Structure 1
């Protein structure tokens, strides 16, 4: 579980990032969750964008991705989810 200071730091780091995944009409599935998990292992901090065609709400999608990847939801803004998962590399010192 991240503290509020850690979340604030990660939000500031994520500000410059572009979303690298888009969730569309199929919603969040295992195949997409595996791809997101691989990206989290490599980068630790990523953004995921929900398209208007997504059948899930942004909160439902964030919870589903978090459950499937065991990542922390740092912040949700609009249709964008910021996710963090610590890796062995330790890119972000929190």
Structure 2
């Protein structure tokens, strides 16, 4: 997790919070959070990086639509990150 960008971590959180979201659903969630447009050229290469790192699996819903889910490793990495964060921030 330490080698991910903040954007990539945000992608993991959005994927974890949704049920097999497709790329445009992820994009819309992040656009609401960032309050600006997320370009496809930023979104999809970062999703592919998470797939390559084994944190996310990409499935195919139909010929044009992919969906994303966390792998076990991705879930463990998020859990470890949350534990690390709570050492420093207790809200």
Provide the TM-score with structure 2 as the length reference: 0.38
- Larger relative strand fraction: 1
From the CA coordinates, give the structure whose radius of gyration is larger: 2
TM-score normalised by structure 1 residue count: 0.37
Flag the structure with higher helix content: 2
